[in-house]
Amino acid sequence: MTGQKVLLLGAGGQVGTELRRSFSGAPELLACGRQQADLSRPEKLRDLVREFRPDVILNAAAYTAVDRAESEPDLAMMVNAAAPGVLAEEAARLGALLVHYSTDYVFDGTKSGPWLESDATGPLNVYGRSKLAGEEAIQRVGGRYFIFRTSWVYGPHGSNFLLTMLRLGRERPQLRIVDDQTGAPTSSIEISRATLAALKRASDAPSGIYHMSCGGWTSWYGFACAIFRQAGTSAELLPIPSEQYPTPARRPRNSVLSNEKLRAVFGVELAGWEEALQEVFPRL
Ligand SMILES: NC(=O)c1ccc[n+]([C@@H]2O[C@H](COP(=O)([O-])OP(=O)(O)OC[C@H]3O[C@@H](n4cnc5c(N)ncnc54)[C@H](OP(=O)(O)O)[C@@H]3O)[C@@H](O)[C@H]2O)c1
């Protein structure tokens, strides 16, 4: 990013941490965590944006606790829907570009192939509904925006499946992992790399929703097997159906995203999920 003022929100999260690294070359980067920019108080965001006057807003902040959201729907809606709407309004006032992230959980999981941006949404849980409402709020404003829908995010920092598996693999001899949910594990490193590449290559691309996930797909069980192989963990993994691992939030069976539109419009492609996993290990 050259000649641009960039405002990053959610700078302490998985994707936010990597975006901070990727966009460190921006002439001015204001990276805000929850202390500086609390998305549960959307109206307060206006002053921040008006004062800094960014050219680009990167919103990596979100309420991401999928199960907890079932009992905190109002907070999830405030952070994931109302706040992005306010950011979109302020970006539009300035003529700035809003880059926002959304999720594969906007879909109901019933399709047999990869989901397209044009497919009908149908979230199964509060988190998915709140993220969909965020997409709609941004689209309603009608300014310049890219919404990058991603999936199964993990990386070297934060709370994620990779780090949980590595910990449990040390603590337990045997783990039972869900094998009937299919998706594409996507590293925070690949997301930030692809975001930077997309903004460099086609900042004049049409506003819209773009799927942005690593290539290929697997199940949580398959992901766990790859993690243990890579880490040399000897704990045994047993595949189980979702019914044997009940959670407060329902999850889609198939949430594999097609990345064709991202490739066609921006010429950007993320690594395959196994390759991306290998890249994360040296950063642990
Ligand atoms: N994680 C996934 O598996 C996944 C899958 C698909 C899509 N996505 C989307 O990808 C984007 C990035 O997610 P991620 O994986 O990087 O999530 P993350 O690691 O949970 O980071 C989210 C960040 O948002 C911050 N945040 C939460 N509530 C906030 C509030 N009220 N005000 C300000 N900041 C707040 C968190 O701060 P604290 O650390 O202080 O809580 C955290 O830094 C999100 O839009 C998410 O919906 C994620």
The structural domain count of the chain equals: 1
pLDDT higher than threshold 90 for residue 189: yes
227 is a domain residue = no
Q: Active-site residue among 105, 127, 145, 154?
A: 127
244 is a domain residue = no
Q: What is the reported pLDDT for 3?
A: 63
DSSP for the chain?
--S-EEEEESTTSHHHHHHHHHTTTSSEEEEE-TTT--TTSHHHHHHHHHHH--SEEEE------TTGGGG-HHHHHIIIIIHHHHHHHHHHHHTPEEEEEEEGGGS-S--SSPBPTTSPP--SSHHHHHHHHHHHHHHHH-SEEEEEEE-SEE-SSSS-HHHHHHHHHHH-SEEEEE-S-EE--EEHHHHHHHHHHHHHH-TTSPSEEEE---BS-EEHHHHHHHHHHHHT---EEEEE-GGGS--SS---SB-PBP-HHHHHHH---PPBHHHHHHHHGGG-
Q: What is the reported pLDDT for 1?
A: 54
Average pLDDT of the residues of the chain: 96
74 is a domain residue = yes
Gap from CA of 234 to ligand 1 centroid (Å)? 31
Determine if ligand 1 sits within 6 Å of the CB of residue 257: no
pLDDT higher than threshold 70 for residue 259: yes
**For residue range 3-38, what is the model confidence (pLDDT) as tens digits?**
689 999 999 999 999 999 999 998 899 999 999 999
165 is a domain residue = no
**For residue range 99-143, what is the model confidence (pLDDT) as tens digits?**
999 999 999 999 999 999 999 999 999 999 999 999 999 999 999
246 is a domain residue = no
Residue 92 structural domain: 5-159+188-214+251-271
**For residue range 211-258, what is the model confidence (pLDDT) as tens digits?**
999 999 999 999 999 999 999 999 999 999 999 999 999 999 999 999
82 is a domain residue = yes
232 is a domain residue = no
Protein residue whose Cα sits closest to atom 21 of ligand 1: 13
233 is a domain residue = no
Domain CATH for 201? 3.40.50.720
Tell me whether residue 127 is one of the annotated catalytic residues.
yes
Q: What is the reported pLDDT for 204?
A: 82
